[in-house]
Amino acid sequence: WRDAGVKVLLSFGGAGMGGSWDGLNDCWEYCFGKADDVATQLKAIVDDQGFDGVDIDYEYFHTQASGQFLTELTTSLRQKMGPAKIISHAPMDGDVSAGKPYFDVLK
60 vs 74: CA distance, rounded Å: 17
The answer to whether residues 4 and 52 touch, using CB atoms and an 8 Å cutoff, is no
The answer to whether residues 74 and 87 touch, using CB atoms and an 8 Å cutoff, is yes
> Which option is the CATH number for 9-106: 1.10.20, 1.10.10, 1.25.40, 3.30.420?
3.30.420
pTM: 0.84
pLDDT at 14: 78
38 vs 35: CA distance, rounded Å: 5
40 vs 20: CA distance, rounded Å: 26
E-assigned strands of 1-107? 9-13, 53-57, 86-89
pLDDT at 96: 77
Domain residue ranges of the chain, discontinuous segments joined by +: 9-106
pLDDT at 18: 57
Please give the radius of gyration of the chain, using alpha carbons only, rounded to the nearest integer. 14
Q: What is the mean pLDDT of each run of 10 residues along the chain (107 residues)?
A: 90 72 65 94 98 90 80 96 95 78 76
pLDDT at 3: 84
